[in-house]
Amino acid sequence: MKNDVNEKRRTPEEELESAYQNIRNDLANDLLQQIKENPPSLFEKIVVELLVNMGYGGSRKDAGKAIGKTRDEGIDGIIKEDRLGLDIIYIQAKRWDNTVGRPEIQKFAGALQGQRAKKGVFITTSTFSKDAYEYVTKIDSKIVLIDGEQLSQYMIDYNIGVATVSNYEIKKIDSDYFIES
């Protein structure tokens, strides 16, 4: 019986990590709900902020001009892959509740082909079907799928729509300090 108790005990670091993951998951769910409750223009702003914070698009001003500018032929926006604009990434952003299936991804892939583009990002507030994920692995164009869960996790990672409440610093004994020379 004593062994069972010891096996279930977690270290304070493990407890903190578990609590942190729970807080982070709750925050991600709350972020996704906020996106769905706000106007589509905010979703576009989030997409721009995220991609710029990830290092794409040059400046927010340049990136903001690209999103929403090309609302035709199945593409919601374009953004520079780097600050020099050596390559362009095409964007499709869908604020949906329903699962995004292969047909939507095929339309986006066709739109990329129509632009002679090789790279695209499809971002949704919902999820992608298994067929959608399988499809992007079989085509020549590189299409990255970002679902609502991943979007909200990226928003936390890149500080979009969130603020730091607390920081905890964990310390341990520096055994090198106690070695005499």
Give the tokens for residue 70.
């090309």
* Residue type at position 114: G
What is the side-by-side order of every strand in the sheet holding 88-94? 67-72, 75-80, 88-94, 119-124, 142-146
Work out the average pLDDT over 148-153: 98
What is the residue extent of each domain of the chain? 12-157
Give the whole-number percent of the chain exceeding pLDDT 90. 59
pLDDT digits (tens, 9 = 90+) for 108-139: 999 999 888 899 999 999 999 999 999 999 99
pLDDT on residue 34: 96
Q: Where are the beta strands (DSSP E) in 27-126?
A: 67-72, 75-80, 88-94, 119-124
Give pTM, 2 decimals. Answer: 0.84
CA atoms of 38 and 107, how far apart (whole Å): 26
Do the beta carbons of residue 124 and residue 147 sit within 8 Å?
A: yes
- Domain 12-157 belongs in CATH node 3.40.1350.10: yes
pLDDT on residue 78: 85
